[in-house]
Structure 1
Amino acid sequence: MKPTLVVLAAGMGSRYGGVKQIDSVGVHGETLLDFGVYDAMKSGFGKVVFIIRKDIEKDFRERLFDRIARNMDADYVFQGMDTLLTEEQKRLSANRKKPWGTIHAVLCAKDRVKEPFAVINADDYYGREAFAILSKHLGSLEEGSREHAMVGYVLDHTMSLSGSVSRAICTVEDGYLKSMRENTKIEFVGKKVISHIDDQDVELTGKEWVSMNFFGFSPTAFDSFSSYWEEFIKDNITTEKTECFLPNGASRIVTNNEGKIKFYTTQEKWFGMTYSEDRQLVRSELSKKTEAGYYPEKLWTK
């Protein structure tokens, strides 16, 4: 059974200043997601499920989805402020300002994903090598397996010159993830890499292994995520912005002995659409890869 690609595409784009998931960066109007889905398809993924906001559905279909659906099995689901909430939870969270986060997003796709699956962000470039790594791992899983996987990147390969980034720093032991901690603000300060965490400035080497939200899970992960979400929402139902992060949920699988996460690595260099200033860099990098023959001039034939 071919694995499925789950794409987190419901973000607000507050730092970017627009709907970056469907912003054109390719010669023929392709989005960054077109290239990610193309790499996944070439690496053995059989289906893609996008998680989007209801308010971008029309533009999403016109500028991305319909094109991909002509070339690959594709589906999408909605993540809203009140998705998966009870009526009482909806009432208590009436002042909510932000989506509930990436664990909530993945759970929105639970009914559409029955096979092993990988998760990516909509605004990040991962490289075909990383898709091939997870496709091979997921394709080898037996039914009921609790061995998941992720691809880690070198921190200084994932930094933006335009501002701070969020990265989960990983601790690895014997080839498996031991723990992850989300750092929501890492940036260059002069030539130093600084993480602003717990009201402190911590200098990093830049060589740490970090998560880019590129995970591979067997379907058993949904049980762990559901349990984590229930605990999170109970404690945070009245908060306006607190989010339930996928790296924390994945780390919890390990610390609660609910499964193992094989830690693969790549030297691929990230680029992405975090800030509006990043758009030209993304266009340039994709153009170089196309000129070098890594991508065909026109990704899709239909």
Structure 2
Amino acid sequence: MMNTTLLIMAAGIGSRFGGGIKQLEPVGPNGEIIMDYSIYDALEAGFNKIIFIIRKDLEKDFKEVIGNRIEKICDVAYAYQELTDIPSGFTKPEERTKPWGTGQAVLSCKGILREPFAVINADDYYGKEAFVKVHDYLVRSSQPGSEIPSYCMAGFILKNTLSDHGGVTRGICQIDENVNLINVVETHNIVKTMEAGKVGAVIQGEKGGFKSIDEESYVSMNMWGLTPDFLEVLQAGFSEFLSALKPEDIKSEYLLPTIVDELIKSGRAEVKLLETHDKWFGVTYKEDKEVVVKSFRKLIDSGIYKEKLFD
């Protein structure tokens, strides 16, 4: 059996959630958090190791809430994403208060990650289908013979990934005739609309205007299937990213969709989009929690999950 790892990015500060640690909010009937369900689905799909990417200051709370429990059922490791963890020759801007984004998060696993892996957000529920498809693709594509790296991404339908309580950020995707990604555009403030009972979506501009967007578009939810060589790409790219920063870019982030998009356009990788129709939910906003709790209750009542998840 091939070893495959699930990376869970859980170092976010959670500012839109009111300053709390949103990744550790209980949403299941026995105190389960969203990560519990993602880990359950990943192990069921065939992944056999978990790496939690956290901040050092979260470590004690994180292990008490979930880490110590998961260590009893599978191999677990920790990586630490810190604002000050940047290449030699660079200094942290004095005004910078948050880590450098999802690219830096995955890069923090360098040295402890040696097998094909999937990466997900801690506060998003992805559904079972995506884990199975990504795991199976990693197993198939890790065979020798490919001239360039072959990665994958779970492609969700935009209308299935919107919040009722505010705008969300999604990577809007374009694909070719072989269902390979050709473009990923990180798009902010996508707002859910409802007209005649039909879900739609618009992009809300900073000055209040709206731009329509196809609600059937494929989007990235930061669920990628990658191989260890990707970390070398991240390391080189992070230095380039920092070198290009200007003073006004103080909040800029080194983001996975942008990194993957550059690899595709330069012909250095191909990325297969694996379509999934599961409905996303997560706690982007504090008001989302009630919806998430009700959604898991419905999944349990329908037999998708057990009342006590890991019993």
Q: Tell me, yes or no, whether TM beats 0.5.
A: yes
Q: What are the superposed Cα offsets for residues 274-297 of structure 1, whole Å, 9 maximum, x if unpaired?
A: 011111111111111111111111
TM-score (norm 1): 0.94
Identity of paired residues, percent?
A: 37
State how far apart, in whole Å, the 1-side matches of 2:193 and 2:143 are. Answer: 46
State how far apart, in whole Å, the 2-side matches of 1:286 and 1:120 are. Answer: 19
Q: Secondary structure at the match of 1:39?
A: helix
The equivalent of 1:234 in structure 2 is: 243
The equivalent of 2:226 in structure 1 is: 217
State how far apart, in whole Å, the 1-side matches of 2:206 and 2:121 are. Answer: 25
Q: What are the superposed Cα offsets for residues 233-275 of structure 1, whole Å, 9 maximum, x if unpaired?
A: 1112754311111111111111111111011101111000101
State how far apart, in whole Å, the 1-side matches of 2:119 and 2:144 are. Answer: 19
Unpaired stretches in structure 1, ≥5 consecutive residues? none
Q: Is the 8 A contact 2:87 2:239 kept in 1?
A: no
Matched, 1:251 2:261: yes
State how far apart, in whole Å, the 2-side matches of 1:93 and 1:300 are. Answer: 44
Match of 1:25 among 14, 22, 27: 27
Q: What are the superposed Cα offsets for residues 135-194 of structure 1, whole Å, 9 maximum, x if unpaired?
A: 101112125851100110110110001000000100100210001000021113564522
Q: Counterparts of 1:195-210 in structure 2 under 5 Å?
A: 195-196=203-204, 201-210=210-219
Q: Counterparts of 1:51-62 in structure 2 under 5 Å?
A: 51-62=53-64
Matched, 1:265 2:279: no
Q: Is the 8 A contact 1:129 1:266 kept in 2?
A: yes
Deviation, 1:222, is: 1.6
Q: 1:240 to 1:264 in 2, by over 3 A?
A: same
Deviation, 1:198, is: 8.6
Q: Give 1:177's aligned amino acid.
A: L
What is the aligned-residue RMSD (CA, Å)? 1.7
Q: Is the 8 A contact 1:84 1:108 kept in 2?
A: no
The equivalent of 2:173 in structure 1 is: 170
Q: 1:144 to 1:242 in 2, by over 3 A?
A: farther
State how far apart, in whole Å, the 1-side matches of 2:239 and 2:307 are. Answer: 46
State how far apart, in whole Å, the 2-side matches of 1:47 and 1:108 are. Answer: 16
Unpaired stretches in structure 2, ≥5 consecutive residues? none
Q: What are the superposed Cα offsets for residues 205-255 of structure 1, whole Å, 9 maximum, x if unpaired?
A: 211110000110122222222222121111127543111111111111111
Bigger shift: residues 198-207 or 29-38:
198-207
Deviation, 1:12, is: 1.0
TM-score (norm 2): 0.91
State how far apart, in whole Å, the 1-side matches of 2:232 and 2:204 are. Answer: 32
